[in-house]
Amino acid sequence: MTFASIPEQLTLEISLSSQRQELPAFSTSGARWRAYVNQICLDTFLPWLREEQFPSARVWTQIGALPSFWEFVNGSAIACQEIRLVLIPTTAIDTAELRVPQEWVDIPNWVADYYIGVQVNPHAGWVSVWGYTTHRQLKTKGVYDQGDRTYCLDENDSIKDINGLWITRQLYPEEILRASVTALPELPLAQAENLLQRLGNSEVVFPRLAIPFELWGALLAHGGWRSRLYERRQGLSEQWSIQQWLQSGVSNLAQQLGWGMTTLQLAPRGVRSRENQQSNLCLLRQLTIADYICELRVFPRGNLTENVWRFELRNANPDAMIPVGFKLRLLTEDLQPFINNEDTATQAMSQLYIDVELEPGEGLVWEVEPTPDGYEREILIF
């Protein structure tokens, strides 16, 4: 339902289910409130956007990964065809300026085309879109507030009517929306572990302000490290141990990101030993890659104690192939390549695969090209 308000402002009704939602754990009451407001904003705006403009609009990341964003930063990103929007909700009555956390502006893989200011009133049951701007304008006209690391844009420099965004895109499709941003440093594994241990303490109330932005941005940009930081601040045990998944079941957090388990028919017929049944277990998740539905599979080659693993990419349709140009790649936890870490489809193929022998406790990150919808880096521990 749409309310009548200031003529150029879009105002939408918050559903009762969104108001009464149950949230996962957060380390502080402030983070929990931030997540609540962001979830309401997303739940209200996204259905309207799909109905009015972009039927295929979706949350930019995995929905299950959103808590690891909201634990630290205000805002939610939406992918709309070739453009990215970031919703910046506020419960403040005064909307004199749009305040965008630096993470959404200066982390290269978080940068959006448009930033939309949304006023949220959970008690009255409405959200109101009061203005938007582009990344380029935010960087050139916005004032950087070093105290809380936000870019602040006066409301007079924002565009009030959200419909102007769609009209401008149609009239000026070549408009440059993004400014250039500085690359962030690569974090060595030892330094990342040190930062995770330090900031994983929930007594550090504002971790995003506790270290220089270059280090913080590099840590958050790595989905696996951001997830681990979130988990440590909740006091959760290891969520990404493949050995534990095979023995005790896939962790709840990993299930929310799409991981499941099945059994491969690899053992000789008639063999029913527990050892062989265990080694036939396969972890898998479904991926949407350039409109193809594929499966990423991870399973042991032999006994678990040997720690030899296969990563395999297949079309979810057993009668279909992996298209030419698709790539499957493995990297170390700190994103370094190694020998024979990539397989490429030079022609249509039934599968791509990589076999690796690992040290106990070693972590790997998988990548696929083209990038799957909602892709987030994960650190799988072996």
253 membership: H or E segment, kind and range: helix 252-256
Residues 6+ apart with CB under 8 A from 372: 287, 288, 289, 294
- Per-residue pLDDT band for 270 (boundaries 50, 70, 90) equals very low
Pairwise CA distance, residues 36 & 132, whole Å: 22
Q: Is the pLDDT of residue 240 over 90?
A: yes
Tokens (6 digits) for 113? 């085309």
Pairwise CA distance, residues 60 & 62, whole Å: 7
Say what the pLDDT of residue 275 is. Answer: 45
Q: Mind listing the pLDDT tens digit for each residue in 283-299?
A: 999 999 999 999 999 99
Mean pLDDT calculated for residue range 159-186:
94
What Rg, from alpha-carbon coordinates, does the chain have? 22
Side-chain half-sphere of 179: how many Cα atoms within 13 Å?
16
Parts of the chain belonging to CATH 3.40.1350: 2-171
Pairwise CA distance, residues 28 & 19, whole Å: 20
Q: Mind listing the pLDDT tens digit for each residue in 199-218?
A: 999 999 999 999 999 999 99
Q: Mind listing the pLDDT tens digit for each residue in 53-76?
A: 999 999 999 999 999 999 999 999
- Only one residue has tokens 């983070």, namely 31
Say what the pLDDT of residue 3 is. Answer: 47
Task: Tell me the pLDDT of the chain averaged across its residues.
Answer: 93
Say what the pLDDT of residue 7 is. Answer: 58
Residues 6+ apart with CB under 8 A from 84: 60, 77, 78, 111, 112, 113, 114
Side-chain half-sphere of 333: how many Cα atoms within 13 Å?
22
Q: Mind listing the pLDDT tens digit for each residue in 349-379?
A: 999 999 999 999 999 999 999 999 999 999 9
Please give the single-letter amino acid code of residue 289.
Answer: I
Neighbour tally for 192: CB within 10 Å: 21
Say what the pLDDT of residue 280 is. Answer: 85
> Among the residues of 26-185, which ranges form H helices?
29-52, 66-70, 102-106, 135-141, 163-171
CATH code of 2-171, in short, is 3.40.1350
Pairwise CA distance, residues 127 & 12, whole Å: 5
Mean pLDDT calculated for residue range 253-268:
83
Torsion angle, alpha carbons of 381, 287, 166, 15, to 10? -80
Say what the pLDDT of residue 1 is. Answer: 47
